[in-house]
Structure 1
Amino acid sequence: MTSEQIKEAIEDFQNLLSKQEKLQNRLIKLNGRDPEQETLILQRLEKIEVLIELIYQFVYDDEILTIRESCIVLSRLDGYSIKEISDFFDLTTQGTKNILVRACKKISDTYNQTNIA
């Protein structure tokens, strides 16, 4: 997984959570009436849940990201803008973007190393 893919997942995290909820609701509504559609929904849901879990796992692992990087990524996951995060941490917007890029690269590198081994 590339750092760009990680960055996109972080930027789109609220949407991922929304998709997860919608797919779960669809499964409940189907209630066994259409097994083929349920299988497709389950496959999509699993991909989303794996990505969500991956992000949380790496963000909370203190051996991968610094506390500051984790806090900035978590703020982004919570939907805060770059400007809001920059103001809170007393950084420039470019500084915040650089920290996010560095964090995404660390997550990507760690993910790729663990999946190769």
Structure 2
Amino acid sequence: MSNMEALAQQTAEPCCPPLNERPLSAEEAVRTAAMFKALGDPVRLRLFSAVASHDGGEACVCDISDVGVSQPTVSHHLKKLREAGLLTSERRGTWVYYRVAPSVLAAMGKMLGQYAA
């Protein structure tokens, strides 16, 4: 793992102000870039969306793994989303349940908001 990836994993949620408020610091840019890099893959974006929109705010891997790739690939993509601080996970028996990390959607909306015409 690179130093940039390690820094990106230190915080479980985006940290940054709205993009039109001020320039991002180097640390903020690293964390934000890791988040967007994780979401830049269509399979990861579908998995993130499936978790975020699932009833009760959490999803078992068994409920979201139908994204057109093998189970090991799904696990790899979910790991990348966790490493980027976008998802949290909890093992319950043989299944793993995923949730969007606290405040992630609100923080992303705040950071990208304010641009409505």
Q: Return the TM-score normalized by structure 1.
A: 0.30
Structure with greater helix share of residues? 1
Structure with greater strand share of residues? 2
Larger RCO, structures 1/2 (Cα 8 Å, 6+ apart) = 1
